[in-house]
Structure 1
Amino acid sequence: MKRFIGFIKKEFYHIFRDRRSLFILFGMPIAQILLFGFAITNEINNVDIAILDHSKDATTQEIINKISASKYFSIKQIIDREADIESVFKKGKVKAILNFEQDFSQNLIKNHNATVQVITDATDPNTANTISNYINAILQNYLQQQNKHIKIAYQIIPETKLLFNPELKSVYMFVPGVMTVILMLVSAMMTSISITREKELGTMEVLLVSPLKPLQVIVGKVVPYIFLSIINATIIILLSLFVFKMPVQGSLILLGLESVLFIITSLALGILISTVSASQQTAMMISLMGLMLPTILLSGFIFPISSMPFPLQVISNIVPAKWFIIIVKGIMLKGVGLGFILKENLILIAMTLFFIGLSVKKYKIRLE
């Protein structure tokens, strides 16, 4: 019995001595609860919208002010021509455009009805539906206030138009997200155990005394996985095209190149995890638990980032998957070119260089 108690004490000492194990045991569950609690929501907040006002009268201005005053929408842009609608959506910031008809106020007074077109970005069907419902609710509230003082009720008729995914197929939202999650987790996990395997097998000493520079070791471990991940990405894209019938409005070559860029970013992150992990088990746990939830919850894959609390919106910017999902949706559903996703590309390149540089630095520390 004493031996058993002593063994239990030893296990406790071993756990509390390893800070990484403590973080996995206590830190990650807390982080998961907070992420699920704040990120999982069907509500929308501060969604960027644009206004196309052909009428420019007092009534349309009242409605615009009412929508802007709500916590749900933020007027991002005022556009003047219908020809600008598609280019505004392709930039990826604006999620809906309100198109007021000509002589809106006159039609409302004389004919007792007027039309406003609600154009939404349906690459995310759930968000598009929610935005339409919220705008309709605000319009109905405005009408109730106006109709208190008149005998014949006014009517504002909203006409909803869904761009890029008019049939609201949810697969158009999930395929880019699933593609991102798979590439991130598989690529990161494959490389995260590479250096830790060397430590556990005792072959790290061979690398330490070899004439190879740290950068050469890091790149040498990444290159084989790049080719394996490209095969993985090719299979995913083919399944998307032929099984899920995903459209590719843009360049298939550009989509392939962007996938390679994201794979390299994910592999670089995996190498960084590998250099700071003491064992393969720790590396795999960090890859699974530390990357899976942020990739799913903070990338805009399922839940709109604009509806999350501001701290989580800031944190989402350091999640590589967020930028890749924007790229994939832009190419496949909107048909954008490199000019529209240049910022996202630069961010992924900067992240890749940062991960590789930090990995080399950590590897140097282990050499000393």
Structure 2
Amino acid sequence: MKQFLIFVKKEWLHIWRDRRTLFILIWMPIVQIILYGFALTNEVKNSNIAIFDQSQDQASTDISKEIAASRYFNLVKNVHSYQDVGATFRQGKIRLAIIFPVNFRYDLLHSNHAQIQLIADASDPNTANTLTNYAGSIINDYQQSLTNNEQLPYTIKTQVRMLYNPELKGAYSFVPGVMALVLMLVCTMMTSIAIVKEKEMGTMEVILVSPLKPFRIIIAKAVPYLFVSLLNITSILLLSVYVLDVPIVGSLWLLMAESTLFTITSLSLGILISNSAKTQQTAMFIAMMSLFLPTLLFSGFMFPIENMPVPMQVISNVVPSKWFYIIIKDIMIKGLGFTAVWKETLILVGMTMTLLGISIYNFKIRLA
């Protein structure tokens, strides 16, 4: 028994002294439960909306206040024309627009029925469906409070219109998300593994004594994976158009240029990982843990970012796939041009330059 306890003590000391093992055993579950507890939710909250109130009467004002006070919605703008509604959607500022017609209250009280139009951004069909249901429930509650639950003939009908994806196909959200996930994982992981493999095989020393400068060595290692990624992009787009019936509404050349930019960003991140990893297994582990989960959680692909607490929304800004996902949806699904995505493009360019700069600066000319 004494020998058994000695071995138990020895193993405990080994775990306690190994910081990596200690982090995995103790801190990783804590981080995951906090992260998943806040990020993984099917509930849609704090969605940005706009209201176009052409009536400006007591009934439309009361309904607008109830919708704005709901935790599901965040009123960001009161628009004054249908053109303003369309422009706000194209800018990506709102997910839902609520439109009250002229003489809303008069029609309700004298004609016994009135109509409200709900326009949703259906590029994310699940969120669009959920938001229209939320708004419809609030409108029904107001109708019941108006009649005091009596059988009065007052009826408020909601007319729902889905922008960009009227059939609510899931592929419209799935394809951009898969593009971001595949390019990020394939480019980053394969680039980092390829460079680390040279270190393990001992061929990196031969490369380093060549006349090439470190910058050119890094670029030379990344170029083949850039072309492979372009083939992946082409195959994904062909499958999405001809198999999944997801059209490319915007410019194909702009879409390919933005995808190439994101690919270069991912390759730069893979080069950065290869500088710190000593084995292929380590490089693969770092790439999977640091990219797979953040891409799923913080890109907006599976879970709306506005549902998350503010600190997590801030963290999502450093995830490149978030900005690429926005770009792909705007160009491919909404048919917008460069003027709509120039900010996201500039962010990806800045990330690429930063990652490449750090990678080149930390590139070790001497391995031993």
Length-normalised TM-score, structure 2: 0.90
| Deviation sequence 1:218-264 (CA, Å, 0-9, x none) | 22222221111111111111111111111111111111111101100
Corresponding letter in the other structure for 1:244: L
Corresponding letter in the other structure for 2:100: F
Say whether residues 1:194 and 2:207 are aligned partners.
no
Distance in 1 (CA, whole Å) between partners of 2:262 and 2:21 is: 29
Corresponding letter in the other structure for 2:119: I
Q: State the match for 1:275 in structure 2.
A: 275
Q: State the match for 2:246 in structure 1.
A: 246
| Deviation sequence 1:58-96 (CA, Å, 0-9, x none) | 221221111111111111112211123322211112100
Displacement of 1:13 in angstroms is: 8.3
Corresponding letter in the other structure for 1:158: T
Displacement of 1:160 in angstroms is: 0.7
Q: State the match for 2:230 in structure 1.
A: 230
Distance in 2 (CA, whole Å) between partners of 1:168 and 1:54 is: 28
Q: State the match for 2:264 in structure 1.
A: 264
Gaps of 5+ in 2: none
Q: 1:151 to 1:280 in 2, by over 3 A?
A: closer
Distance in 2 (CA, whole Å) between partners of 1:6 and 1:237 is: 61
Q: What SS is found at the alignment partner of 1:245?
A: coil
Q: State the match for 2:178 in structure 1.
A: 178
Distance in 2 (CA, whole Å) between partners of 1:330 and 1:358 is: 31
Corresponding letter in the other structure for 1:159: Q
Displacement of 1:269 in angstroms is: 0.8
Q: Conserved in 1, the CA contact under 8 Å of 2:205 and 2:367?
A: no
Displacement of 1:162 in angstroms is: 0.6
Q: State the match for 1:120 in structure 2.
A: 120
| Deviation sequence 1:170-199 (CA, Å, 0-9, x none) | 111111111111111001111111332222
Q: State the match for 1:310 in structure 2.
A: 310
Q: 1:223 to 1:10 in 2, by over 3 A?
A: farther
Q: What SS is found at the alignment partner of 2:363?
A: helix
Q: State the match for 2:360 in structure 1.
A: 360
Distance in 2 (CA, whole Å) between partners of 1:167 and 1:130 is: 15
Q: What SS is found at the alignment partner of 2:148?
A: helix
Q: State the match for 1:53 in structure 2.
A: 53
Q: What is the number of equivalent residue pairs in this alignment?
A: 365
Displacement of 1:23 in angstroms is: 5.0
| Deviation sequence 1:285-323 (CA, Å, 0-9, x none) | 111122111101111101111112222111111111111
Q: 1:237 to 1:25 in 2, by over 3 A?
A: farther
Q: State the match for 1:321 in structure 2.
A: 321
| Deviation sequence 1:295-353 (CA, Å, 0-9, x none) | 01111101111112222111111111111111111111110000001111011111111
Deviates more, 1:123-132 or 1:34-43: 34-43
Displacement of 1:108 in angstroms is: 1.5
Distance in 2 (CA, whole Å) between partners of 1:11 and 1:195 is: 35
Corresponding letter in the other structure for 2:106: Q
Distance in 2 (CA, whole Å) between partners of 1:208 and 1:22 is: 36
Q: 1:27 to 1:178 in 2, by over 3 A?
A: farther
Corresponding letter in the other structure for 1:306: E
Displacement of 1:9 in angstroms is: 9.9
Identity of paired residues, percent? 52
Q: State the match for 2:41 in structure 1.
A: 41
Q: State the match for 1:299 in structure 2.
A: 299
Taking only aligned residues, the RMSD between alpha carbons, in angstroms, comes to 2.8
Q: Conserved in 2, the CA contact under 8 Å of 1:21 and 1:282?
A: no
Q: Conserved in 2, the CA contact under 8 Å of 1:191 and 1:222?
A: yes
Q: State the match for 2:167 in structure 1.
A: 167
Q: 1:245 to 1:22 in 2, by over 3 A?
A: farther
Distance in 2 (CA, whole Å) between partners of 1:254 and 1:217 is: 29
Q: Conserved in 2, the CA contact under 8 Å of 1:24 and 1:285?
A: no
Q: What SS is found at the alignment partner of 1:193?
A: helix
Q: State the match for 2:148 in structure 1.
A: 148
Corresponding letter in the other structure for 1:202: G
Q: State the match for 1:214 in structure 2.
A: 214
Q: Conserved in 2, the CA contact under 8 Å of 1:53 and 1:80?
A: yes
Distance in 2 (CA, whole Å) between partners of 1:328 and 1:11 is: 50
Distance in 2 (CA, whole Å) between partners of 1:302 and 1:258 is: 21
Displacement of 1:148 in angstroms is: 2.1
Corresponding letter in the other structure for 1:334: K
Length-normalised TM-score, structure 1: 0.90
Distance in 1 (CA, whole Å) between partners of 2:158 and 2:360 is: 57
Gaps of 5+ in 1: none
Q: Conserved in 2, the CA contact under 8 Å of 1:28 and 1:290?
A: no
Displacement of 1:357 in angstroms is: 1.4
Q: Which has the higher contact order (CA 8 A, sep 6+)?
A: 1
Q: Conserved in 2, the CA contact under 8 Å of 1:99 and 1:117?
A: yes
